[in-house]
Amino acid sequence: MDASQVFCPNGDCLARGHVGQGTIVIHSRTPERYRCKVCRKTFSARAGTMFEGLRKPVELIVLVVTLLAYGCPIQAIVHAFELDERTVAHWRDRAGGHCQQVHAGIIEQGNLDLMHVQADEIRVKGCKLIAWIGLAMMVSTRLWLGGVVQLSRDRSLADRLMSQVRRSAQAMLPLLVLTDGWSAYPNSICRAFREKVKLTRGVGRARLQIWPQLHIGTIIKRTQKMRVLEITRKIAYGAMSQAENLLLLSHGGSVLNTAFIERLNGTFRERLASLTRKSRHAARRMVALETGMYLIGCTYNFCFPHHELSKITHVGSPCTPAMAAGLTDHIWSICELLSYQIAPPPWIPPKKRGRPKKRTPSMHTLASHPRVRLRKGVLCLATG
């Protein structure tokens, strides 16, 4: 146990999220618990991880989550390890929820030069429901940027997906976004990638201006009898020459395409059992789809080496998308991913609003004169 690498998870503590400042000490070794010297509360060493509150061995949980991340159906895990089906589903939801926090704490921090992004949707047939999953990826590093699960394929799905992409991007840098022919994408992209610009002095709302180097391309495929007959490529916003330049810089091909996101869709359909076509493991809850999506996406980003990135033409050694994006320097294990703790933001004192309180007069600020002034000769023994 190393107390210097632990932070206080208490949201009301003044020293929450502080690491290596001497505020945490070891409270007990069996079970492993720490104590904060500021708020004087104890917490488990597993606090903030997927294993918090679980009594099963960590090795068994990691093994089950690894099988789920590779697309193993729940029923196969139930028969192999003699676990309850609800237990396996609960572990999947907990792992997916933890991966969602890791994704927000590492990727959605606005530190990436995206350069080239592709977005697409997956139609999911569940039990008495049809859902849609929107996905987006950074082409140059093959990094999965996020996803959205909804029952309807409407404008809100595109808005939520593009807002998630915007949270991971550095502002005002050249960016090419390629999508299919869905008409909701161009307007959603323009709404997401805007910045406040104050053009006039005085009181008033700042103008929202679209990034000057934003380029939006659409690829429309015309099919007949399951065969692609014609592909139409056009620029919905921006310039074609600059879009082709970004395409070459990101190693995204020689023409506008959505091949990389379609390949990622195949990876998700392969590893998430409920997304498999003509599957008997249809999802019954939207939460199961969302947690499964984040579990597959985070393990894809941090834990599994990418075959194309590992070739000599790119890195030349086993490399994950997170390593290619500069987010980490090694391949994570499943246990490391599930044990990763996101530090809460530092405590900020609330602003003082309203008029300042009036000071109560102290003994030093009282008047030096007595309250009752006596006349000369009154009650004086010397003159009596």
Q: Which ranges in the chain belong to alpha helices (H)?
A: 58-69, 74-81, 85-106, 155-167, 184-192, 240-249, 259-271, 286-302, 321-324, 334-339
327-354 per-residue burial string, b: 16 or more CB within 10 A, e: under 16: beeeebebbebbbbbbebeebeeeeeee
Of 73-82, 164-173, 210-219, 365-374, which range is least confident? Answer: 365-374
pLDDT score at 384 = 47
Of 171-185, 200-214, 318-332, which range is least confident? Answer: 200-214
| Protein fold of 112-199+206-289 | Nucleotidyltransferase; domain 5 (3.30.420)
Output the CA torsion 121→332→138→179 (10° steps): -10
Peptide bond preceding 31 in cis form (omega within 30 of 0): yes
pLDDT score at 364 = 54
Sign of the torsion formed by the C-alpha atoms of 101, 104, 109 and 113: positive
| DSSP string for 64-116 | HHHHHHTT--HHHHHHHHT--HHHHHHHHHHHHHHHHHHHHHHTTTS-B---E
58-69 and 286-302 helices cross at what angle (nearest 10)?
100
Which among 105, 134, 99 is positioned nearest to 118, based on CA atoms?
134
Task: Name the 3-class secondary structure at 163.
Answer: helix
Query: Could you tell me if 333 and 65 are in contact, meaning their C-beta atoms sit under 8 angstroms apart?
Result: no
Does residue 204 surpass a pLDDT of 80? Answer: yes
114-143 per-residue burial string, b: 16 or more CB within 10 A, e: under 16: bbbbbbbbbebebeeeebbbbbbbbbbbbb
**pTM of the predicted model as reported, rounded to 2 decimal places:** 0.85
Structure-model confidence comparison of residues 328 and 351, the more confident one: 328
Q: In what order do the strands lie in the sheet with 24-29?
A: 24-29, 32-36, 42-44
In the structure, what pLDDT confidence band is assigned to residue 187 with cuts at 50, 70 and 90? very high
Does residue 277 surpass a pLDDT of 80? Answer: no
Q: Determine the average pLDDT of the residues in 330-335.
A: 95
CB atoms within 10 A of CB 358: 6
Q: In whole angstroms, how large is the CA radius of gyration of the chain?
A: 30
Q: How does pLDDT run across 38-90, given as a tens digit for each residue? A: 888 899 988 889 999 899 999 999 999 999 999 888 889 999 999 999 999 99
The number of residues making up the chain comes to: 384
Does residue 343 surpass a pLDDT of 50? Answer: yes
**What H or E segment, with its residue span, contains residue 33?**
strand 32-36
pLDDT score at 383 = 46
Would you list the domain boundaries of the chain? 1-45, 112-199+206-289
Query: Could you tell me if 338 and 357 are in contact, meaning their C-beta atoms sit under 8 angstroms apart?
Result: no
pLDDT score at 370 = 56
Exposure of 355 in the CB half-sphere (CA atoms within 13 A):
3
Output the CA torsion 40→45→47→48 (10° steps): 120
In the structure, what pLDDT confidence band is assigned to residue 136 with cuts at 50, 70 and 90? very high
Q: Determine the average pLDDT of the residues in 254-276.
A: 91
Q: How does pLDDT run across 100-116, given as a tens digit for each residue? A: 999 999 999 989 999 99
Which residues contact residue 189 at a Cβ distance below 8 angstroms, ignoring those fewer than 6 apart? 162, 177, 179, 214, 216, 237
